[in-house]
Chain A
């Protein structure tokens, strides 16, 4: 036995081997054709590489559209080099020497996976295979029953094969598996009947229940998170993220060390009670206005695209009509030319047909010119309207931001006043005893306290400015991208159309020429 094993030469998948395997697959006349003109690996959807003593997987990256791959009965030790086969539905790796499940993360469409008769001891690294329906991992080294719980994440898993693993010796194996995978239809090639499932569910009710709860909780959390993210995304597209609340205000005070100290001054408390609420209400106004403006912009854009679509459909219909008319007119012409007896008549008909083709080209091009000019006008309108919308938005933002700044200035003045008063008090030694030392330090002289207040004020203003700058730059960027996109689309469309017309005319003329070459020898 060991001798036999030694004789066999281990292989690596080589280009040659693949080529051969592909050719072997098509034996009939189509295969001959294929052989003759060569096969593009991109077009191959199925590949069988069984019983080839393969040790290492390689050279499969070209088979982008592969849906079925058989690598069974080889001596593969590691799953690798399958990353590019993203369309794979069926992967057979049975009867190999694989020890670890890995390298399957990109195969998200996989439905059927067979790892039968390998040396795997743990089910892992399969989280992305959400479409998995059939999973065969019998005759491996799976020992712990709890591994089955891992399979709960595959919502579509219906068929599972685990026979021949050490864990199957546990007499609780079957009910445990059925209870934890309630959607399972076939286990180890046998139908899971209702009585069995009910009994199992009842038995493991207490162990599955918490699992379920945890899963439900996780799901709910994820959904919530997703919803939040969506909301934020929505706000971002409206350029007013984090403005529905006190985020901006808080960020203003975040890096402001002085403000915390100043807060201890008598009278600042009152000031700090009203100031945030005003500030936040201005922010909220800005936020709501931003959302409204966003809706308006969206409506404008969709309005434009709707009209554009309408115009394009009309244009398409018109072009189609012209072509259909042409085709109907000339459907029989070619036949007639072929059957005409005299050479002269054939010649004249050909000329006529040629003329007609040119005429068609002319008509189509004219139509295209007309459409282009129409659409250009449309896009110009659109650009103008978008510009108006963006500028209104910006004006609003600037207005609101000015309000914010006014509030800040007001606050600053008040603060300064209090500070000066307090300084006077401190000079007169009337200051409260319970002020912290670092606050006391501010009142060494007038400059220190004024500097501190000014610094705090400056930080706040910078924050407001930068936020405003962000909004403005985002809005401008959006404006540019939207108009650019519309323009680019139109240019692409125009090029495509012209290309199409030329190609079609070429095709017609070629057809005609073929006719002539056929005609002439006779």
Chain B
């Protein structure tokens, strides 16, 4: 079956190729036809006229070609001719499209490796999401041919729009700058990838986290209790399971049917550009693709990528010589393999898959290469530097991201909108709307994310079907509010409030409320209380005085139930597990914890005031007032004396409890009031480090800066006295001889020299230590590579990257120190020469 399918596909592909050949003459027509197609699909981006852009401000490298570049273009032409000769049936390569100034530029020189000063952009995820957010997507003029022009990344950034090639070149520039082994890829992909159609994808925010199968470590003990015989019919169970499976299958099939994408007439021909990141550098464990439109990573075996024509980075250009009949699944990304990848420029430092143990081989290889190089001296040519100006992104632009700060993505049955922070007055940064159907008409749920809100609101979920609103808060809200689930803000309606119990004195974690009940859940209390349930009765109708509010007349409490966890310090039958105050019946029921191995719990039921009411005088305590069931002992040996004490304590606590319940109710009202106020007047917080927004802070900062500068100036004036320690050796400064003065000067200078070398040595030592440690660790890794677990490996990689970072910093520092040392030395000498104390002795003997 599989083979058949593959055959089919192959045939289909051949057919399409034929068709493509046919069409190639009328490419333009197809392109236009398709653009008409596109016009039908909703596209909220208005067309942009690239011809109107201003090129006059661009530097000269954009407008002319240097001699090297010209030579490169010749080589490229030569290469193209040979290629066309060797592979007449393949599409022409994209080698030197024109740039925005109409000058032909080789694609590799368009890549401008740049490391941008944002920590987020040091990782590929950050770069990819930035590029996908920052630029507006444009479709290729013709979906089946690479574009005839390729603009510089700077221009693309300026106008914030581009096609897949522009996206890829920009992303590639950033990734290479950040140290990744990244390449632009010119190839073929499915319709969905090419047009950034994610409507068949589940929104990443809705993807369920993969359930980690819990490893239940059940020790297969020899001692197993035999279960009692199971008397349920196995057959019936089986039948049921079968039925269910059948139903499930049917349902799934139905779903699949509806989800199946439309057949694409241009399948396999659609040109796309994306980014390839090879493993090796920056601890990338496995080669992968990045789709620049979405910023998502894809495995190299992803079925949506159908083939690769060529790849390039800032150094070289490779043409894929492997067959892509099975998509990119079987491709091998060893660019050093000249059979699979035809390179254009011969280079010594070939990028190849890093194999640590082939160094020797490599040397041999290199020697061979030398010979070859001599023969082909004329062909050896280094890629000229990029003609593109450095890529720059201002913090403002970086933060704002998308043009106008807004971006909309359609997913399967979901719509995701993004805004830049501070763009919306209410702090909204993201909104996800979930629909019941794939036509985006019936809203099921709306989720909104907020940032920088003073009331710490982080996310709000509105379920449109139940009208249930869920609000999530960051830590730091008043009274430790964590989440608020409600339908209406009226008091005494159904609602759930969750709290950060660590932040609260009473350890309240959750409070669930409706008209007649209130449940509270506690965590980590000293009295082991974890649950309290209050039932309210109907409010006794009172004559409403003018201006009385609901909280003045609290609902009468019918019953309070409290549950406690086990306090291991007390014996189980003295440790109360549950107590119920039946307030209207004047009863208190206590249930104690279960004793070890017992199945019944001790109980005490008190009836208060039964006797008191009947007679005038108070009877303190009678045996009838308390019914006791004591586990493990037949007679109730507790004396009335103790029961009385207990009852007194309980009565006291009941009073307190009523108070607490009342306080809880008031707290709810208070929170509702606060929330109402907050929603009515939304304020956004501004970080004190954000000098752009925080006006007050900026003024302060500037003032402080000025002050600091003054301080610095002052400091410099009363500079350190270099000579002081040396002058002290000589008793009388006035009577210093020339010889002494000279010696002092020499001493001072040698001391400074020592100091400098010492400093450099320290840095050097640090550097060496780091390098050695890294080597050691690396050696250890090489030796034990096979036995290492994933975790160890990850640890090792993390360690390596960290150490590499440190080594780089140290090397930089050392270099700077070395550069600066002579200057500093000279400066000191100059200073000493001018020093008045020495000066007079030196110049006037």
Residues of A in contact with B (beta carbons under 8 Å apart) = 29-30, 32-34, 37, 39-40, 43, 303-304, 306-308, 310-312, 314, 316, 319-320, 322-323, 364, 370, 374-375, 377-378, 381-382, 385, 493, 496-497, 499-501, 503-504, 507, 511
Closest 8 CB pairs of A and B: A319-B599, A307-B223, A311-B225, A29-B620, A504-B600, A34-B641, A374-B225, A507-B629
Q: Which of A33, A34, A39, A382 contacts B223 (CB 8 A)?
A: A382
Given A32-B620, A37-B641, the answer on whether A500 and B221 have CB atoms closer than 8 Å is no
Minimum distance in angstroms from B614 CB to a CB of chain A: 15
Given A33-B621, A496-B632, A500-B600, the answer on whether A378 and B223 have CB atoms closer than 8 Å is yes
Say yes or no: B620 contacts A33, CB within 8 Å: yes
B599: which A residues are within 8 A, CB to CB?
A: 316, 319-320, 322-323, 364, 497, 500-501
Say yes or no: B620 contacts A320, CB within 8 Å: no
- The answer for the CA separation of A311 and B641 in the assembled complex, in Å, is 40
A316: which B residues are within 8 A, CB to CB?
A: 594, 597-599
Say yes or no: A493 contacts B620, CB within 8 Å: no
Which chain A residue lies CB-closest to B224?
Answer: A307
B629: which A residues are within 8 A, CB to CB?
A: 504, 507
Q: List 28 A-B contacts (CB under 8 A).
A: A29-B620, A30-B641, A34-B639, A37-B640, A39-B641, A303-B221, A303-B222, A303-B223, A307-B223, A310-B225, A311-B225, A312-B597, A319-B599, A322-B599, A323-B600, A370-B228, A374-B226, A375-B225, A378-B223, A385-B222, A496-B597, A497-B597, A500-B600, A501-B599, A501-B600, A503-B600, A503-B634, A504-B629
- The answer for the CA separation of A33 and B223 in the assembled complex, in Å, is 54
Q: Which of A33, A307, A322, A323 contacts B225 (CB 8 A)?
A: A307
- The answer for the CA separation of A390 and B228 in the assembled complex, in Å, is 32
Say yes or no: A33 contacts B597, CB within 8 Å: no
B558: which A residues are within 8 A, CB to CB?
A: none
Given A40-B639, A500-B600, the answer on whether A320 and B594 have CB atoms closer than 8 Å is yes
B598: which A residues are within 8 A, CB to CB?
A: 316, 496-497, 500
Which chain B residue lies CB-closest to A373?
Answer: B226
Q: Which of B222, B632, B640 contacts A500 (CB 8 A)?
A: B632
- The answer for the CA separation of A112 and B550 in the assembled complex, in Å, is 55
A to B contact number (C-beta, < 8 Å): 83
Given contact pairs A320-B599, A381-B223, A493-B597, enumerate 18 new A-B contacts (beta carbons under 8 Å). Answer: A30-B648, A32-B620, A33-B621, A37-B640, A304-B223, A311-B225, A316-B598, A316-B599, A320-B594, A370-B228, A382-B223, A385-B222, A496-B598, A497-B598, A500-B600, A500-B632, A503-B600, A507-B629
Say yes or no: A378 contacts B639, CB within 8 Å: no
- The answer for the CA separation of A194 and B743 in the assembled complex, in Å, is 53
Minimum distance in angstroms from B9 CB to a CB of chain A: 57
- The answer for the CA separation of A382 and B225 in the assembled complex, in Å, is 12
- The answer for the CA separation of A378 and B226 in the assembled complex, in Å, is 9
Which chain A residue lies CB-closest to B620?
Answer: A29
Chain B 638-668 interface mask (CB, 8 Å, partner A; 1/0): 0111101100100000000000000000000
Interface residues of B in 463-477 (CB under 8 A from A): none
Which chain A residue lies CB-closest to B627?
Answer: A511
Say yes or no: B222 contacts A33, CB within 8 Å: no
Residue among B228, B597, B631, B645 with max Cβ neighbours from chain A (10 Å): B597
Which chain B residue lies CB-closest to A311?
Answer: B225
Minimum distance in angstroms from A51 CB to a CB of chain B: 27
Minimum distance in angstroms from B563 CB to a CB of chain A: 13
Say yes or no: B645 contacts A30, CB within 8 Å: yes
Interface residues of B in 584-600 (CB under 8 A from A): 594, 597-600
- The answer for the CA separation of A308 and B223 in the assembled complex, in Å, is 8
Minimum distance in angstroms from A111 CB to a CB of chain B: 18
Say yes or no: B627 contacts A306, CB within 8 Å: no
- The answer for the CA separation of A304 and B222 in the assembled complex, in Å, is 8
B223: which A residues are within 8 A, CB to CB?
A: 303-304, 306-308, 378, 381-382
Minimum distance in angstroms from A494 CB to a CB of chain B: 10
A503: which B residues are within 8 A, CB to CB?
A: 600, 631, 634
A500: which B residues are within 8 A, CB to CB?
A: 598-600, 631-632
Which chain B residue lies CB-closest to A385?
Answer: B222
A377: which B residues are within 8 A, CB to CB?
A: 226
